[in-house]
Amino acid sequence: MNFKKYEPSSAYEVKKLFTDVFTDSEGQAEGELIGNLVFELQETTEPKDMFGYLVRDGKKLIGCIFFTRMEFENQINAFILSPVAVATRYQKQGIGQELIKFGINSLKKNNVELLFTYGDPNFYSKVGFKSISETIAKAPLKLTYPEGWLAQSLVNEIIEPISGHSTCVNALNSQQYW
């Protein structure tokens, strides 16, 4: 397995990976939705506002993860993990967790203080995320699954409450993802 920084020349290959993985697990409509989200993230997000990482088995792309900037009124350096995918036949081997850990280590080196995600608490708790309420940090849009609002501090043990609203990159700024 070879973990490396995302490269824009992989945009269509990355879109196909996400489309295929989410189609396999959630159906064609979800596959297309997430594939299009990933493509939009790649095309519209400023490089300073996005970290992406790939994992390959030889030359074959088998996983990808994106972290994009979240902004709060207090200027904390925060990002959100969304989305992540591992090729269906490579799942349940720990590759997703290793990819997330690889990304988190890179974010720490880039002085990111706080990391969010919105997903399955059982999965993401394995890589350090904890459920939080919006009294700790408001999500950019209305949460349809509040139990899935998760965060971890990359600098402290405790996540201090953050006052005010948050915003995310344009590609994620749609209620259908929240």
HSE, CB side, 13 Å, CA atoms: give it for residue 27: 2
**β-strands 78-86, 114-118 pairing:** parallel
Structure tokens belonging to residue 118 = 């919105």
Domain boundaries of the chain, sorted by first residue:
2-177
- pLDDT of the residue at 90: 98
Q: pTM (2 decimals)?
A: 0.95
Q: Which CATH architecture has domain 2-177?
A: 3-Layer(aba) Sandwich (3.40)
Which residues have C-beta within 8 Å of that of residue 65, sequence separation ≥ 6?
52, 53, 81, 83, 84, 85, 99, 100, 103
- pLDDT of the residue at 24: 98
Q: pLDDT tens digits for the chain (178 residues)?
A: 999 999 999 999 999 999 999 999 999 999 999 999 999 999 999 999 999 999 999 999 999 999 999 999 998 999 999 999 999 999 999 999 999 999 999 999 999 999 999 999 999 999 999 999 999 999 999 999 999 999 999 999 899 999 999 999 999 999 999 9
- pLDDT of the residue at 131: 97
Structure tokens belonging to residue 158 = 């405790």
**β-strands 114-118, 149-153 pairing:** antiparallel
